[in-house]
Amino acid sequence: MDLDNNLKSVKHKIVILSGKGGVGKSTVATQIALSLKQQGLKVGVLDVDLCGPSIPRMLNVEDKDIHQSSQGWVPVYPDPSQTLAVMSIAFLLNKKDDPVVWRGPKKNAMIKQFLSDVVWGDLDYLIIDTPPGTSDEHITVVEGLQGYNPDGVVLVTTPQAVAVGDVRRELTFCRKTKLPVLGVVENMSGFVCPHCAECSNVFSKGGGEALAREFNIPFLGCVPLDPQLSECLENGQSFVEAFSSSPSAQILNKIAETLHQRTAMNGSIS
Amino acid sequence: MSEKPENAPEHCPGTESEDAGKSSACQGCPNQNICSSAKPKGPDPDLAVIQERLSSVKHKILVLSGKGGVGKSTVTSMLARGLALDDNLQVGILDVDICGPSIPRVMGLEGEQVHQSGSGWSPVYVEDNLGVMSAGFLLSSPDDAIIWRGPKKNGLIKQFLRDVDWEDTNYLVIDTPPGTSDEHLSVVQYLQNAVIDGAVIVTTPQEVSLMDVRKEINFCKKVKLPIIGVIENMSGFICPSCKNESQIFPPTTGGAEKMAEDMKVPFLGKLPLDPRIGKCCDEGTSFFEEFPDSPAVTSYQQIIKGIRRYCNEDDHMDTS
């Protein structure tokens, strides 16, 4: 097995980080992936959240198994076109409610395997979803991507100061590990009441945008709360496709388009 | 658990075994000298120190989730503040979320530093009867990141449990990061001789959260950690304008109450999504003091009653 080849055939690698839990990393990762797929690109999603793997449910591949080939692990394809490939520890669990109670070293070994042993094929984009924090998973992903020219990181936050506080720390992590920051997404930014159309700032407003300004990083956009987005994630339906005219879907599509334009200039790895 | 090194012979008893280096299978193994000269593994002496240190803490409650962003730190701070409203109680918060320590901000203690005294590390006091300890107090700037792998995080958690002087405390509420990894294993392991009353598990209503929370409940069962109950947070949003309720995080699979029933664990209650709670957390103020008439305050008070009842505090219960 040529360990080099599996990541070499992936043109662009984007890591979704936050620092804060529950801000919508997996949501943003899946919707960006689906949006890019809709544009005709070949996309992979790698879920390195070993304790709380959300990706399979969101992409409607919850009960799938993975198979071995001579070149490594074959990812799960949600549909026959094979333009979206998924890998997650969820596929390796016997029962989906089994906790993965692993300390750092064992988590690191698994993540290294995910990075080197999955046969992604010729992907335009690999989106890597991470758990919250700045610990084993994040350090191992950065180390594993060294030499493969990752395009950079998308930082997801919610508007309030408690979330932004953790994202500042994640920015320090990016600076120390020399990961380029492609931009900040402010998720759950406002809720439009379906009954009276009044907009409430359920989780405050503007924190993500202010952070981007403070650190001179591109601001990718505010994604409002939309219960239809939550429902789609629950049911493994593509929100950007099913509700494309909703404000949240429009901004998610715009974010994917912006990332595509920015990273396309990076070209393939030599 | 026995570790077999890659270069060990077929019938290696394991490096952690009492027969390590001494069994017949060990003859000729390149590690034999190392294994046979290793000191016999006894119990970790720090466990006894921790037990002694925490003997003055009557009740220890872990706040867990499995899922991030459901409100563990919010619930921890609200439970602690709510308990501390009773002047007869001495309350502490221990924040073992080392990478994402939210408690200092939520408690209005950002920028505070840890002080050492002759008897150990002193918690930072919000009120006379409410003290806090967090990794956040070890950082000199809000941008500082703790980029540590598991073993180093475990070391700090042990230090918190061993060296913080809580004095006589009625309730110690321990906030954790999401997941079932180093921090959680370490807290349970280091507190194995000190009694943990149990875990309060926080979730939001949707299945994407419940999926992770079921794992957390199974973790608790696996490590024999009693479960005080499950709280469903962000359960419904009342529009301040038209007063209609919306389910921002829809309970597509029945919500936390059904999950608790299925997993045979108690359900403590629901907390509504009130933007003013988030605002108080951002500002480090007490929601109980700022908005005492909010339905969320009533819900929290019911939950606190349930927890105190669980901890057998009947002599301090009021009859209202």
Q: pLDDT per residue over B35-76, tens digit each?
A: 776 655 677 888 889 999 999 999 999 999 989 999 999 999
Contact: A103, B240; criterion CB under 8 Å: no
pLDDT band at A217 (very low <50, low <70, confident <90, very high): very high
Contact of A131 with chain B, judged by CB distance below 8 Å, is answered with yes
For A55, name the nearest residue in chain B, comparing CA atoms only.
B208
| pLDDT of B320 over the 50 cut | no
Contact of A132 with chain B, judged by CB distance below 8 Å, is answered with yes
Contact: A132, B178; criterion CB under 8 Å: yes
Residue-wise pLDDT tens digits, B298-314: 999 999 999 999 998 64
Minimal Cβ distance to A134: which of B145, B180, B278? B145
pLDDT band at B3 (very low <50, low <70, confident <90, very high): low
pLDDT (average), residues B169-191: 92
| Cβ contacts of A22 on chain B, cutoff 8 Å | 67-70, 178, 204
Contact of A5 with chain B, judged by CB distance below 8 Å, is answered with no
Residue-wise pLDDT tens digits, B216-271: 999 999 999 999 999 999 999 988 888 888 999 999 999 999 999 999 999 999 99
DSSP letter string, A89-140: GGGG-SSTT------HHHHHHHHHHHHHHB---SEEEEEEE--SSSSHHHHH
Give the angle subtended at the CA of A168 by the CAs of A165 and A173, to the nearest 5°. 135
Tell me, what DSSP letter sits at residue B116? E
| Cβ contacts of B221 on chain A, cutoff 8 Å | none
Q: How far is B82 from B105, CA to CA, in rounded Å?
A: 18
Q: Output the furthest CA–CA distance in chain A (Å, rounded).
A: 59
Contact: A135, B148; criterion CB under 8 Å: yes
Contact: A100, B73; criterion CB under 8 Å: no
End-to-end CA separation in angstroms for chain B: 52
Residue in the block written with tokens 């395997």 = A113
| pLDDT of B28 over the 60 cut | yes
Q: What is the pLDDT of residue B8?
A: 72
Contact: A201, B275; criterion CB under 8 Å: yes
Q: How far is B179 from B176, CA to CA, in rounded Å?
A: 9
Q: What is the pLDDT of residue A197?
A: 85
Contact: A161, B105; criterion CB under 8 Å: yes
SS3 call for B216? helix
pTM: 0.88
DSSP-assigned beta bridge partners for residue A222: A186
H-run or E-run covering A141: helix A136-145
Give CA B237 to chain center in angstroms.
Answer: 27
| Cβ contacts of B284 on chain A, cutoff 8 Å | none
Q: What is the pLDDT of residue A145?
A: 92
Give CA B58 to chain center in angstroms.
Answer: 16
Q: What is the pLDDT of residue B89?
A: 96
Q: What is the pLDDT of residue B313?
A: 61
B201–chain A nearest CA distance, Å: 15
For A25, name the nearest residue in chain B, comparing CA atoms only.
B68
Q: What is the pLDDT of residue B13?
A: 78
Give the angle subtended at the CA of A12 by the CAs of A252 and A17, to the nearest 5°. 55
pLDDT (average), residues A178-191: 96
Tell me, what DSSP letter sits at residue B138? G
Q: Are A33 and A128 in contact (CB under 8 A)?
A: no
| Cβ contacts of B248 on chain A, cutoff 8 Å | 191, 202, 225, 227, 230
Q: What is the pLDDT of residue A270?
A: 38
Name every residue whose Cβ is closer than 8 Å to that of residue A245 and which is 6 or more positions away in sequence.
none
pLDDT (average), residues A189-197: 89
